[in-house]
Amino acid sequence: MAYQFITIPVQGMTCASCVATIEKQIKKIDGVKEVSANLALENVSISYDSDKTSPPEFIEGILRAGYKTPLASSNNKTSSVLFEEVNKRNLLQVWIGAIPVVIFGMFFHDFRPGQYLSFILAIFLMAFPGRYIFKKAWHQLKILTPAMESLVALSTLTALIFSAFTLFIPAMHNGHLWFETPAMIIAFIMTGKYLEEKAKRQSAASLQKLKDIQPTKAKVIRNGKEIELDVSDVQLNDRVLVRAYEVIPVDGKILIGSSHINESSITGEPMPRFKTKGDEVYAGSICQEGALTLLVNKEPSETVLSSIISAVTHALSSKAPAQRLADRIAGVFVPVVLVISLISFAAWMIFQKDGQFTMALTAMVNVLIIACPCALGLATPTALVAAIGKAALNGILFRDGETLEKTATTSLVAFDKTGTLTLGKPEVKDHYVIPENLAELPQWIPVFCAMEKASHHPLAEYVVNYLQQLFPPNEQLAIDHQVEIIPGKGVIYRNLDQVFRLGSLQWLQKEQIEISEEMDKIIEDWLKRAYTLVVFSVNKKAVMILAAGDTLRPDASSCVNALKKQGISSIMLTGDHEVSARVMAQKAGITTVFAECLPADKRKILEDYSSKGQTVLMIGDGINDAEALAYAHISATLGNSTSLALDLSGITLTHGKLLHLPLSIHLARFTRKIIHQNLVWAFVYNVLCIPIAAGVLFPFTGQLLNPMIAAAAMSISSIMVVSNSLRIKKLNLQI
């Protein structure tokens, strides 16, 4: 059964209880496998069986829960802008109305006209600027899922109704009027939410930056005419025209033209690359001169940039373990607060003799207002949104929030050698020719090149290119059917009275090929450098030798050194022979080497380290690493790895830089610290403030907390959590 995945924007989520409400409603729909609402991104991601349900049912569930969603993704940006403008307008209205109420309540509380005006203004504030609070509270109560709005609505209505009775019933004229309480509660709540929304948008700005790289329009040549289309309407094999300084809208090959291409948004390389006919170009890169005609070779939804955006969006839609814990707590938080508020009211009514009703009401209102599920709900997602977005902009893709949390605990990194620590592209490093054979070598080179081509050895292409550049041949020989290939050893070619051999040193030694004393010294030196040797002989005498080897990545040693500074050990796992592995490991700064490993051996080694309490991160690039990547606690790979390695990877370093691995761990650790700070603050705030709001300090101070202060404290707690998460955006990702 194939499940489909969709992300729907949701407007109106304000706290962790809202998240629980939306998830509860959508989980009721038959065919839904998984649902994850994200408070920071204001969306809900759903995995579902398309044979049983469809997006319209999800939209209906969101509306039924009392929230809004744009019906078309094209309206998302407009809706967001309108939402912000409404907030600004409402904020102005609420403060213009609230300030006179506070002045009358605090300084002219016996001024009768002021009392009536305060009543009218309080009604106005609740019915117009603050009406969304009461509408949402009503929806929440209808489906029996109370959230923050329910607490605010209940507390403000209680204060308003009590004050109205006191104002209009003569027998209660001596009672306290609380009109300033609902007025200031609404003012503080709306101000806090406005600032919180701005901060949340900043934390999600990195994802928007990625989306902004992708052009929305493309110039397509069809039937000889240039037309402008939405990028989503471009088809495979279309011809797309890109002019100087324009952003390339699609992935494709250059058919006509050449230009320097700035690919920094995709590869991270600051220097533009010169590309011409036949070269690949990527959506999001910039054509810096001239004009190009491209042949589209990928659907717009499958470009490299689209894949990165999709991976980031999917990562943000998942829940980290810390978030799942916070959501479970939030699911029972509001009902518990309601019970505590009623207990507070009852306790004051029973144990307080003088003015017990006013004090009981104050305590109940304080508890309802000061309790803050918002901070709890924002603690983890705002940090993850900021971290995953920042990572993506720096060439690091985390598969999900859980991977990011695990990465922070890394204690050991296991490196594959070929293609990970090294470039994975062997090259000929040096050559040596017997001096007395130099004159004859030009006539032998075409033979050796033809033998190499016939061998189909992995090094053949590199050896042939090197020989042809060194000794340009006068002719090309075709001797494929005349050579004898000795698998794993070399090639023999017989021509009249001459016998040509090329292959490994060990094989030619067994064939009793004569090697000069000078060549023997050079061979000894090259073997110490872990080079792979190719020996060429004519009639039982070695005439030339080539040294080939892989190249260590430029940042490999810096990566290992940075990991060491982070307190992380490094080991190498490779199928290569011992000498070559140890030479490369020494260059990289790795002291623990496991060579000549089969895929199963790599897994067993990781199992052993894991059993000793190590949290293992494996970084590899090929099929032979798949078993180890699947077993490791965290898996990582470079962006140019095989598709299987990419599928198994929890972290993808899209710019192909090893130094981004310690950067990802640094970011993960900092993010974990921010999440812990946020959660501790959210828990401590509620644990301390709810008893204070209920009046636990009254025996020592002789006063109850002012409800306006409670409202301000609740707003500030959420703003502090989001502001703390924004520190991630300012983190310097440099080693």
Average model confidence (pLDDT) for the chain? 84
> Is 79's pLDDT higher than 80?
no
Q: What is the rounded CA–CA span in Å between residue 213 and residue 77?
A: 16
Higher pLDDT, 25 or 85: 25
Type of residue found at 17: S
> Is 85's pLDDT higher than 60?
no
Q: What is the rounded CA–CA span in Å between residue 559 and residue 556?
A: 5
pLDDT band at 381 (very low <50, low <70, confident <90, very high): confident
Higher pLDDT, 20 or 336: 336
CB 639 within 8 A of CB 652: yes
Higher pLDDT, 715 or 607: 607
> Is 389's pLDDT higher than 50?
yes
Average pLDDT over residues 652-678: 93
Q: Tell me the three state secondary structure of residue 532.
A: strand
> Is 80's pLDDT higher than 60?
no
Average pLDDT over residues 552-577: 92
Higher pLDDT, 380 or 198: 380
Average pLDDT over residues 396-422: 90
For residue 83, give both structure tokens.
């939402």
For residue 8, give both structure tokens.
């729907």
Q: What is the pLDDT of residue 279?
A: 92
For residue 195, give both structure tokens.
């600032």
What is the CB neighbour count within 10 angstroms for residue 282? 18
> Is 41's pLDDT higher than 80?
no
Pairing of strands 541-549, 532-538: antiparallel
H helix or E strand, kind and range, residue 429: strand 427-433
Q: What's the distance, Cα to Cα, between the start and end of the chain in Å?
A: 46
CB 16 within 8 A of CB 376: yes
For residue 226, give both structure tokens.
């240039």
- 348: Cβ contacts below 8 Å, ≥ 6 apart: 356, 359, 360, 363, 695
pLDDT band at 593 (very low <50, low <70, confident <90, very high): very high
Q: What is the rounded CA–CA span in Å between residue 307 and residue 587?
A: 35
Q: What is the rounded CA–CA span in Å between residue 86 and residue 66?
A: 18
For residue 725, give both structure tokens.
């998460």
Backbone angles phi, psi at 406, to 5 degrees: -65, -40
Backbone angles phi, psi at 213, to 5 degrees: -65, -35
For residue 711, give both structure tokens.
């409202």
For residue 129, give both structure tokens.
């600027």
> Is 612's pLDDT higher than 90?
yes
> Is 235's pLDDT higher than 70?
yes
Q: What is the rounded CA–CA span in Å between residue 548 and residue 551?
A: 10
In the β-sheet with 280-281, what is the strand arrangement from edge to edge?
225-230, 217-222, 239-242, 292-296, 252-256, 280-281
> Is 123's pLDDT higher than 80?
yes
Q: What is the rounded CA–CA span in Å between residue 411 and residue 732?
A: 22
> Is 726's pLDDT higher than 80?
yes
CB 733 within 8 A of CB 667: yes
Backbone angles phi, psi at 292, to 5 degrees: -125, 145
Task: Give the CB-side neighbour count of residue 10, counting CA atoms within 13 A.
Answer: 34
Q: What is the pLDDT of residue 733?
A: 80
What is the CB neighbour count within 10 angstroms for residue 31? 14
Average pLDDT over residues 716-721: 86
- 38: Cβ contacts below 8 Å, ≥ 6 apart: 19, 44, 45, 316, 317, 381, 385
Question: Nearest Cα to 668, choosing from 381, 377, 398?
Answer: 398
For residue 373, give both structure tokens.
């599920």
Type of residue found at 470: L
The residue length of the chain stands at 735
Proportion of the chain above pLDDT 70, given as a percent: 88
User: What's the chain's Rg over C-alpha atoms?
Assistant: 35
Which sequence positions are flagged as catalytic? Answer: 416
At 167-195, the pLDDT tens digits run 888 665 556 688 888 888 888 878 877 77
Which CATH architecture best describes the domain 400-423+553-668?
A: 3-Layer(aba) Sandwich (3.40)
> Is 96's pLDDT higher than 90?
yes
Task: Give the CB-side neighbour count of residue 340, counting CA atoms within 13 A.
Answer: 25
> Is 318's pLDDT higher than 70?
no
For the domain made up of 214-306, give the CATH fold.
2.70.150
pLDDT band at 86 (very low <50, low <70, confident <90, very high): very low
> Can you say whether the dihedral through the CA atoms of 287, 291, 297, 300 is positive or negative?
positive
pLDDT band at 152 (very low <50, low <70, confident <90, very high): confident
Backbone angles phi, psi at 426, to 5 degrees: -65, 145
Question: Nearest Cα to 680, choosing from 729, 730, 724, 716?
Answer: 724
Instruction: Classify residue 693 as exposed, middle or buried by CB count within 10 Å of its CB (0-12, 13-18, 19+).
Output: buried
Q: What is the pLDDT of residue 335?
A: 86
Answer left, alpha or beta for residue 411, where phi above 0 means left and psi between -120 and 50 means alpha.
alpha
Class of domain 427-549 as given by CATH: alpha beta
> Is 208's pLDDT higher than 80?
no
> Is 72's pLDDT higher than 50?
no
Lowest mean pLDDT among 347-356, 410-419, 491-500, 537-546: 347-356
DSSP, residue by residue, 595-663: -S--HHHHHHHHHHHHHTT--EEEE--SGGGHHHHHHSSEEEEETTS-HHHHHH-SEEETT--TTHHHH
Q: What is the rounded CA–CA span in Å between residue 367 and residue 6?
A: 38
Lowest mean pLDDT among 77-81, 243-247, 690-694, 730-734: 77-81
Q: Which residue blocks in 69-226 are alpha helix, DSSP H? A: 76-107, 112-127, 131-142, 148-168, 180-203, 205-213
What is the CB neighbour count within 10 angstroms for residue 515? 18
Q: What is the pLDDT of residue 648?
A: 62
Higher pLDDT, 659 or 530: 659
∠ CA 645-313-719, rounded to 5°: 130
* CATH 3.30.70.100 describes domain 3-71: yes
CB 644 within 8 A of CB 625: no
- Which residue, chain included where needed, has tokens 């690359």? 273
> Is 481's pLDDT higher than 90?
no
Helices and strands in the chain, H and E counts: 27, 25
Q: What is the pLDDT of residue 614?
A: 95
- 510: Cβ contacts below 8 Å, ≥ 6 apart: none
Domain range annotation of the chain = 3-71, 80-205+314-348+372-383+674-729, 214-306, 400-423+553-668, 427-549
Mutual angle of helices 356-370 and 148-168, in 10-degree steps? 150
Instruction: Classify residue 452 as exposed, middle or buried by CB count within 10 Å of its CB (0-12, 13-18, 19+).
Output: buried
> Is 262's pLDDT higher than 50?
yes
